[in-house]
Structure 1
Amino acid sequence: MKGKILIIEDEKKLCDIIGLYLSKEGYEVNYAYDGETGESFIENSSFNLIILDVMMPQKDGWSLLRKIKSHSPETLVILTTARGEEEDRIFGLELGADDYMVKPLSMRELVLRVNLRLKSKSSSSIHTKSSMIEIGSLAIEEDNRRVIEKDVIISLTPKEFDLMLFFIKNSNIVFKREQLLDKVWGYDFAGDTRTVDTHVKNLREKIYYFNSNLKTVWGVGYKLEL
């Protein structure tokens, strides 16, 4: 089995088609045809990746995304929606989504994105060192992706953690937003450079050390000064 996936989609036919394609790829697939069932799955089971429809009655995708990221921040989430406006994409990424696809969906593209996301996560886990990084007021446990500042555990989304770690391991180097998208999100990421700005803003708000040391290089990008 390649991984465990949950599909939360109120269009039953579409949900079943997505599941069929992913099952053929070797994934264990669970189905939720409404938000309440999806919420129950989230609370009682663990998944490698969740495909989440945004527009659903009663429990919408935004509220479920918040639930997923608070309950299991390591779980990857791909949002699907008929609305492709930039503000919707930015909002979903700010809440912690790992990818965003606009309907009508291409099944081949969806399967490709699922494979790439899970492969990237698996690869990063394999190469992560079981070590502690101490920098300023921060203590970072790479193996369990935990961040502690002044004895307080800082809650970060997976991409916030990845971006934080990238800056620390590449300190005093100026990176353009496009470079950060490529290095942290991956070349196949469908978002834009505002995604980087949003995650930088979140890091500065959540981590006092980054608020002081993560600098904006006007007209270029960002660098972490050590």
Structure 2
Amino acid sequence: MTIDRSLISGSSSSSAKQPKLRRADGSPVRALVVDDENTLTDLLSMALRYEGWEVKTASEGRQAITIAREFRPDVIVLDVMLPDIDGLQVLNRVRSDGHETPVLFLTAKDALDDRIAGLTAGGDDYVTKPFSLEELVARLRGLIRRSTLVVADADDPVVTVGDLELNEDSHEVFRDGEPIELTATEFELLRYLMRNPRRVLSKAQILDRVWSYDFGGKSSVVEIYISYLRKKVDAGRPAMIHTVRGAGYMLKPAL
């Protein structure tokens, strides 16, 4: 197979071998790769199968939606620009089907607004072409670790702040005994807040911890996700998530 090396940068097989990830039932992680560049999907498929994952590919948006419904992937690599419908529409359809599968957007565009658009649409990460293959695989592994596939390293997986409870093993969240459904990114953001109760966390700290990189000072994505959390965690209840003007955000037990 001939690979177009202009699609990747700085790829190397010299990194230390990482432990293979598995689903909770012991079966292989399922990944869906969506891109109209056949050489790219071949390259990513080969890399992810080397990780021990089960991989399916799609070259068009509507095809990706069909496969996602049948295959039920654990993570999706999704190109923004597709021949029929764009990646944002694909993500919207996947989310409307009730699937909170972590999604990493892949695109040739490097504009900041495109990154923001992908993440605020419900995506969980973003990589631009050309990209490092090792970095992309590492980010996918990070998304998988946030999901229910991997047991948390913490001795006690249950984090409690006031009447809010988060289980890092099962990825369940409860407020006063009522379940709260969160996306993978919302869960990671809430976990960071709950692991640091009564501590003001800046937008830069949140970007670095939850998304692992910044947005050149444009931090509206944090505001948007804080808003999402408030609607789910604080809706109809005493507020736990607070804005500290000019400083950041803090989570503390409700009075």
TM-score range, shorter chain: 0.7 to 0.9
- The 8 Å contact of residues 147 and 153 in structure 1, kept in 2 or not, is answered as yes
Tell me which residue corresponds to 1:115: 141
User: Taking structure 1 as reference, are residues 194 and 124 closer, same or farther at Cα in structure 2, changes over 3 Å only?
Assistant: farther
TM-score (norm: length of structure 1) = 0.80
- The 8 Å contact of residues 152 and 169 in structure 2, kept in 1 or not, is answered as no
Q: Deviations over 1:139-165 (max 9, x none)?
A: 655543344558865442211122223
- The 8 Å contact of residues 52 and 61 in structure 1, kept in 2 or not, is answered as yes
Residue 230 (structure 2) pairs with residue 204 (structure 1): yes
**Correspondence list, 1:1-226, <5 A:** 2=21, 3-70=29-96, 71-73=98-100, 75-119=101-145, 121=147, 125-127=151-153, 129=156, 131=158, 133=160, 135-136=162-163, 140=166, 143-148=169-174, 153-186=179-212, 189=213, 191=215, 193-208=219-234, 212-226=239-253
Local SS of the residue matching 1:125: coil
Please give the root-mean-square deviation of Cα atoms over the aligned residues, in Å: 3.0
Structure whose residues are more often helix by fraction = 1
Number of positions where the alignment pairs a residue of Structure 1 with one of Structure 2: 222
Local SS of the residue matching 1:64: helix
Local SS of the residue matching 1:108: helix
TM-score (norm: length of structure 2) = 0.72
Write the letter of the residue equivalent to 1:221: G
How many angstroms apart in 2 are the aligned matches of 1:123 and 1:45? 16
Which ranges of structure 2 fall in alignment gaps of 5 or more residues?
Answer: 1-19, 22-28
**C-alpha displacement at 1:43, in angstroms?**
0.8
Write the letter of the residue equivalent to 1:96: G
**C-alpha displacement at 1:8, in angstroms?**
0.9
How many angstroms apart in 1 are the aligned matches of 2:159 and 2:193? 16
- The 8 Å contact of residues 204 and 211 in structure 1, kept in 2 or not, is answered as no
Which ranges of structure 1 fall in alignment gaps of 5 or more residues?
Answer: none
Local SS of the residue matching 1:216: strand
- Percent of aligned pairs with the same residue? 31
- The 8 Å contact of residues 207 and 222 in structure 2, kept in 1 or not, is answered as yes
- The 8 Å contact of residues 10 and 32 in structure 1, kept in 2 or not, is answered as yes
Q: Deviations over 1:153-201 (max 9, x none)?
A: 5442211122223323322111122222333334xx3546333222112
**C-alpha displacement at 1:61, in angstroms?**
0.7
User: Taking structure 1 as reference, are residues 148 and 80 closer, same or farther at Cα in structure 2, changes over 3 Å only?
Assistant: same
User: Taking structure 1 as reference, are residues 83 and 143 closer, same or farther at Cα in structure 2, changes over 3 Å only?
Assistant: same
**C-alpha displacement at 1:21, in angstroms?**
2.6
Write the letter of the residue equivalent to 2:46: L
Local SS of the residue matching 1:105: coil
Write the letter of the residue equivalent to 1:53: D
How many angstroms apart in 2 are the aligned matches of 1:213 and 1:81? 37
Local SS of the residue matching 2:243: strand
